[in-house]
Amino acid sequence: MMVLSVGLPGMFTDWGERVISALIERVHGPATTMLANALEDIAEAIVVSDMEHLVVGVRQPNARLRKALLASAKPMIVFLEDPTRSALHLVANHGYSVPAAVRTVSGCCVTLMDFRRMENALIMSPGRDSGDLEAGIRKIATHLGMSLSEVEFSDLLGEFTTVDMARARDLTFAGLNEREQAMLSETLGTYAEAFDGRELGKLIWPRELFGISDAPTEAATRDIDIAGRARCLVFGPYMQLFPGNWKARVVLGFSVETVGTRFMIDVATDAPISHTTITPDAAGVYEVIVDFALSESDRPIEVRIFNERPAFEGHIALGFVSLTPAPVLQAATIEQYLQERTQPAL
């Protein structure tokens, strides 16, 4: 027997997979739990493992595995861990930095959205299912078609306590500074709203997620000196997005010395997708629009800023990048979009 568990990394998902394993053990015999994000990983485990029963935990499936899972009629469990708490779990329990946790969880959220409406999937969330331990375990058992006697169920229930589920809700921002807390909320909050059934809104990529090309290990949280050759100045954040049309708003500050210098802002994966340019005519803060389209979600997105000619002096500063789903561009609106690209921010 093989049971598929799809979910964000976190304590609630870990709890759910322990419940699944315990149920299989009582009904069918010992089970092995494994993590797999590629179809090849599952195939190898089935061939190599001498275990008859598997719990396959999927966190960020690649395109091939995602396609196979979405086409499968096998019952699966989807654990909608709160994205912010998932990131806190990675920071507190696995030593991730906040930017690394944000990148990981954001990528998992993108691939997880497809599984929310599958008819063969049981959706579990800590907000709804962590208050009643017995009911939560019974839901999982029923969905997997596993029948236990009341004695067997009572024995299984004794292995778990409400503390197990409550801990999934009790992670806090303790130890994080205000900017780190804001980064988690700004970047991951939109996914939490989408998990609740709302339309996907604006995504925010704060400047802490970007790097300075002249100092690659340093976040782009300071003014960046453009003196020197023409080059890439800012890069990042290597985040995944849903396929479709997008509008990126890049907020940039320019010093007076940059007036008349042309800058290029592009969006790329392993190759450039779209770009635009801006030549500031005064010092200040500008909002630059880049429209682009994605055909797949597996390749991380990069937003880069270049100065297109050598400079003696001048500084730029990245504010943030926001992204919103965009409609397909119609011929009548293209000119309007182009006019909006380099309008100064209000």
Dump pLDDT digits (tens) for 70-88: 888 888 999 988 899 899 9
Half-sphere exposure of 188 (CA within 13 A, CB side): 28
Predicted structure pTM score: 0.84
Q: Which fold has domain 2-167?
A: Rossmann fold (3.40.50)
Closest by alpha carbon to 223, among 300, 215, 302?
A: 215
> What does the pLDDT average to over 255-278?
95
Half-sphere exposure of 226 (CA within 13 A, CB side): 26
Pick 343 or 206 by higher pLDDT.
206
Residue 293 to residue 279: CA distance in whole angstroms: 24
pLDDT of residue 332: 39
> What does the pLDDT average to over 43-52?
75
Size (the chain), residues: 346
pLDDT of residue 331: 40
Domain 202-340 has CATH 3.40.50: no
pLDDT of residue 232: 97
**What are the domain boundaries of the chain?**
2-167, 202-340
Closest by alpha carbon to 325, among 237, 244, 222, 204?
A: 244
| Residue 162 clears pLDDT 90, i.e. is over it | no
**pLDDT-based confidence at residue 171 (cuts at 50, 70, 90):** low
Interval 188-246: pLDDT, tens: 988 888 887 787 788 999 999 999 999 999 999 999 999 999 999 999 999 999 889 99
Q: Report the percentage of the chain scoring pLDDT > 90.
A: 49
Say whether 202-340 and 2-167 share the same fold.
no
> What does the pLDDT average to over 121-138?
82
**pLDDT-based confidence at residue 164 (cuts at 50, 70, 90):** low
Residue 25 to residue 146: CA distance in whole angstroms: 11
Pick 195 or 19 by higher pLDDT.
19
